[in-house]
Amino acid sequence: MVWIGAALLTLWAVAGQAREPVAAAVIALPDSGAGAAGSAQAAALLEDELRRTGRYTLVERRRVREVLDEIAFQQSGVTVPEGAIELGRLLNAAQLLYLQALRTPQGRELAVRVVDVATGQVLRVESQPLPAGGETRVAARRLARRLAAAASTPGAEEMALIEGGTFLMGTDQGLPEEGPAHEVAVASFQLDRYEVSRFSFQEWLVAQGRQSRPELSHADHPATSVSWEDAAAYCAARGKRLPTEAEWELAARGASGRTYPWGEATPTPALARFDATGPLPVDALPAGATPEGVFHLAGNAAEWVEDWWDPEGYRGAVAGSPGGPSTGEYRTVRGGSWDQPAGELRSTARAFHNPDRGAAHIGFRCARGAALEP
């Protein structure tokens, strides 16, 4: 008999932002391969571990069985898109998590396929090798933690459109490297709404074969200690790039020349992360976002941009151009960070760092031209 369970995915309220609950049903498929660990046992363990993550609240399994009986749902229809859509809607679930124990040439493993009920499309596939000793719980625990991390991390593809135009870059009221103020023309572009998360960056490292899948804590925090080269490579792998310094400042200030991403109000803990011991999740503090919905352009993690650093670059800028050198020793960093004071969060503030080394307070986000669909 096919064992079926359901789980209601409940995302925590983080730093004043409550995420909408997303219902998800966990379905165990029959074993595949002689001697494979039983899917029923694995599903029960996975359900238990999902509960332990604190991200899931389980729904009575009986309700799922009743729905299947009511529609005379056959096992063969569970995995086809039409069946997933019908089953998910009847269960008021947004996602279905199909779990199966498999035997592969490398040994045994647990595999989970996450399906979007609205479209019937596969959102992600996770697998975990089963230890030779048969410790299925260990594999289930690791799978559960990765599923919880993925569920609690905003989509890496969410981007905001920033309308281009001519704006006043820099200021005559700040530090010497912030001026003089000068007009710069920027074409419309798209910018990631969130800083790249630890989870998203680790996924890229794994895909590159540069890292295995270790236990990952604070998966929804910004990825920091990332070199400029790795940040640029991550963006390129997604058909994007790092924003230019002028693009970054236009996104933070807007055409009106805001002092801070949210406006003129002095920074507070409800608006930005500063003078703190560490960063917050990348989608925390929505009150501090720009009108276009871009988060943490002030505080949390400082951010790499495309440009080389020149403290006097603005002084040589040609009208309409941001100026700046074509090479150098350091790359520019913008936005302030969690360990800086409020006075260093102005949208015109500039800093620099060695591109070959990351730093615990520096993260990044990606950009691309406005002609492409988000």
Q: Which of 23-27, 78-82, 95-99, 141-145 has the lowest mean pLDDT?
A: 78-82
Instruction: Report d(CA 322, CA 333) in Å as an integer.
Output: 15
Cα torsion 220, 226, 229, 230: sign: negative
Amino acid residing at 280: L
Summary mean pLDDT of the chain: 84
Question: What pLDDT does 120 receive?
Answer: 87
The band of 57, judged by pLDDT with boundaries at 50, 70 and 90, is low
| For range 221-231, the mean pLDDT | 97
Question: What pLDDT does 60 receive?
Answer: 64
In the predicted structure, residue 223 carries a pLDDT above the cut 80: yes
Within 13 Å of residue 325, how many CA atoms lie on the same side as its CB? 11
**Tokens read off for 308:** 């080389």
SS3 104: strand
| For range 102-126, the mean pLDDT | 86
Report whether 143 contacts 128 (CB < 8 A): yes
**Tokens read off for 72:** 């005379």
- Residue carrying the six token digits 């409020």: 342
| For range 199-213, the mean pLDDT | 87
In the predicted structure, residue 90 carries a pLDDT above the cut 80: yes
The band of 371, judged by pLDDT with boundaries at 50, 70 and 90, is confident
Question: What pLDDT does 36 receive?
Answer: 44
Q: Which residues contact 69 (CB under 8 A, 6 or more apart)?
A: none
In the predicted structure, residue 58 carries a pLDDT above the cut 60: no
The band of 106, judged by pLDDT with boundaries at 50, 70 and 90, is confident
Query: What are the φ/ψ torsions at residue 43 (nearest 5 degrees)?
Result: -65, -40
Give pTM, 2 decimals: 0.81
| For range 285-310, the mean pLDDT | 97
Question: What pLDDT does 264 receive?
Answer: 97
The band of 62, judged by pLDDT with boundaries at 50, 70 and 90, is confident
- For the chain, percent of residues with pLDDT exceeding 70: 82
Question: What pLDDT does 74 receive?
Answer: 55
In the predicted structure, residue 191 carries a pLDDT above the cut 80: yes
Question: What pLDDT does 154 receive?
Answer: 83
**Tokens read off for 297:** 């352009």
| For range 3-16, the mean pLDDT | 34
The band of 6, judged by pLDDT with boundaries at 50, 70 and 90, is very low
Query: What are the φ/ψ torsions at residue 101 (nearest 5 degrees)?
Result: -90, 130
180 cis-preceded (ω within 30 degrees of 0): yes
In the predicted structure, residue 7 carries a pLDDT above the cut 50: no
First CA to last CA distance, the chain:
43
**Tokens read off for 78:** 């569970």
How many angstroms separate the Cα of 252 from the Cα of each of 137, 166, 193, 347? 46, 14, 12, 6
Q: Which residues contact 66 (CB under 8 A, 6 or more apart)?
A: none
Question: What pLDDT does 287 receive?
Answer: 97
Question: What pLDDT does 35 receive?
Answer: 46
Question: What pLDDT does 176 receive?
Answer: 93
Each residue's pLDDT tens digit, 321-341 = 666 788 899 999 999 999 999
